[in-house]
Amino acid sequence: MDQAAGYRVLLSNIYAFAKRWQDVITVRQKMIVMGVKKPSGHSWIQINGVVHDFMADEMTHKHSSFIYEILCEIPKQTHQEGYEPDIAGIVFFNGDTF
């Protein structure tokens, strides 16, 4: 994995937030040409005092169904408590290269 992948993704997201779409395209194209791919998300969760690590969309972990059940509850709970996220600057990437 290219050590600069995270920085390039961050740069692309900053450009997108600033609506600098040509710069977003330039960064993404450079990543494709260089063969740089965004690393999979990696998270940790504590269950009954034991810390477990897992990758995004991983279903092989023995507690994966419980982990995703809890993760699905978080937005519901925050919404019930009045939190409304500001998603205006979020850019969603699809496919292997984003």
Encode pLDDT of 45-84 as tens digits: 787 898 888 787 778 877 788 878 888 888 889 989 998 8
CB atoms within 10 A of CB 26: 14
CA pair distance 69, 12, nearest whole angstrom: 31
Quote the pLDDT of residue 91. Answer: 61
Give pLDDT tens digits for 7-19.
888 898 899 888 8
Residue 98, pLDDT > 50, answer no
Give residue limits of the domains in the chain: 1-39, 40-93
Quote the pLDDT of residue 95. Answer: 39
CA pair distance 11, 25, nearest whole angstrom: 11
The model's pTM is 0.48
Of 40 and 97, more confident? 40
